[in-house]
Amino acid sequence: MQLRKVQEMGGTTFLVSLPKEWATSSSVKKGSVLSIENSGDGGLLIYPVENSTNSRPEKEIEIEYPSRFKISSLSGEITGAYLLGYDLIKIKGKHRISPNDRETAIAAIKKLIGLEIVEEDALSITCQFLVDNTAVEPSKIFRRISAIVRAMISDTIKQLGSDETFRFESVAERDDEVDRLHFLIVRLIRSAVRDPRAAGKFGLSSIDCLDYRVAASLLETAGDYAVELSSAISQIKSMDGGLKNELVSLSEDLDSIEDVAVRGFIAKDYALTRDVLDKYKQFESRLNGFEKVTESSPNFAELLHVVDIIERIGRCERDIADLVPPMRPA
């Protein structure tokens, strides 16, 4: 960190010198035009006008095949490069890529939104990220993840004891889409942290980026719990009508809590997120009451497991609301 003393000129203008190292590396010289933007969190962003367009040099990475690291996996390295914001990912082999490893790589690439194979031969696979990082708003992806998770939970519980045929495996399939969207939002947030101009286009401060990263992980975890819930409920063959109705009612409480938590988080609305905490207290009380009623059920052990999963989902949703403080920092 370097400190600069502010000078005053003419009583109305303030001057501060630019670090020479930065000016040299950015090709700034006498007569250069600089873009000065408000960062939204009390700071200023300064860029040479020539470099302030949406275009930026592509980040490239080459993944060695086979890896010299015994603990690494090809799919893990591809996913890691994607999350770190690399635009061009090249898998370069010292010899032919085996059919199994090629299938592994292609499967990993297909799980990552925006990443497409552009070149392929016996020794290499090259894929490129084809989505503009500033074209997709994190808030829209966040809403989409939430909608999928809510549907996973609701559909699962409403099928309990139903005569309708329901593929519980479809819940796990939808969780795959949650994972893909989660990876995308993590990539976008990391890009915004590295490039404050991108964050400015999204209307996010540095703290907002951190909050989005945490909130997206909470939703992704709730999706994992929804898959676990589906598995647990699929083991219950029959249930008393009263218990079933109560469980459906609890799922509706969960749906309402997540809806308000997500809306409050995106809008940074403290009043909405406080409403979540009130809803959660009522939900927790009802959940405890439901647990006591199930003690006489022949499916007590299975229902206890279901209650535990539902409680964990509710905590994820409550924690999203907790990310909105009473007052945003200036």
Residue 51 pLDDT grade (very low, low, confident, very high; cuts 50, 70, 90): very low
Q: 326 in a domain, yes or no?
A: no
pLDDT confidence of residue 53: 43
CATH code (residue 88): 3.30.110
pLDDT confidence of residue 330: 43
Residues 241 and 287 in one domain: yes
Residues 218 and 182 in one domain: yes
Residues 34 and 74 in one domain: no
Q: 328 in a domain, yes or no?
A: no
Residues 209 and 294 in one domain: yes
A 10 A CB-CB count for 279 gives: 21
CA-CA distance, 129 to 279, in Å (whole number)?
41
Instruction: Please state the rounded mean pLDDT for residues 80-97.
Output: 93
Given a cut of 50, whether residue 99 has pLDDT beyond it is yes
Given a cut of 70, whether residue 41 has pLDDT beyond it is no
What are the Cα distances from residue 189, in Å, to 144, 201, 210? 16, 12, 8
Given a cut of 80, whether residue 231 has pLDDT beyond it is yes
* CA dihedral for 26, 37, 182, 214, sign (positive or negative): positive
Residue 110 pLDDT grade (very low, low, confident, very high; cuts 50, 70, 90): very high
Instruction: For residue 125, give the nearest of 168, 74, 83, 57 by alpha carbon.
Output: 74
pLDDT, tens only, 181-223: 999 999 999 888 877 667 777 888 888 999 999 999 999 999 9
Name the residue with higher pLDDT: 278 or 330: 278
Q: 330 in a domain, yes or no?
A: no
List the domain range (segments joined by +) for residue 107.
60-129
pLDDT confidence of residue 84: 92
Percent of the chain clearing pLDDT 90 (strictly above): 55
Can you spell out the DSSP letters for 224-264? HHHHHHHHHHTT-----HHHHHHHHHHHHHHHHHHHHHHHH
Given a cut of 60, whether residue 329 has pLDDT beyond it is no
CA-CA distance, 46 to 282, in Å (whole number)?
49
Given a cut of 90, whether residue 164 has pLDDT beyond it is no
Residues 73 and 221 in one domain: no
Residues 83 and 154 in one domain: no
Q: Are 151 and 143 in contact (CB under 8 A)?
A: no
Residues 118 and 224 in one domain: no
Give the range among 27-36, 51-60, 223-232, 251-260 with minimum mean pLDDT.
51-60
Given a cut of 50, whether residue 52 has pLDDT beyond it is no
How many separate domains does the chain show? 3
Given a cut of 90, whether residue 11 has pLDDT beyond it is no
CATH code (residue 42): 2.10.260
* pTM metric for this prediction: 0.80
Given a cut of 80, whether residue 133 has pLDDT beyond it is no
pLDDT confidence of residue 54: 46
Given a cut of 60, whether residue 161 has pLDDT beyond it is no
> How high is the mean pLDDT of the chain?
86
Residues 79 and 160 in one domain: no
Residue with tokens 């059920």: 297
Residues 44 and 101 in one domain: no
pLDDT, tens only, 55-69: 456 789 999 998 877
Q: How far from the centroid of its chain's Cα atoms is residue 202's Cα?
A: 15
Q: Are 61 and 83 in contact (CB under 8 A)?
A: no
CA-CA distance, 226 to 151, in Å (whole number)?
10
Domain boundary among 76, 103, 129: 129
Residues 73 and 40 in one domain: no
Q: Are 296 and 240 in contact (CB under 8 A)?
A: no
Q: 253 in a domain, yes or no?
A: yes
Residues 107 and 31 in one domain: no
Residues 233 and 304 in one domain: yes
Instruction: Please state the rounded mean pLDDT for residues 27-40.
Output: 71
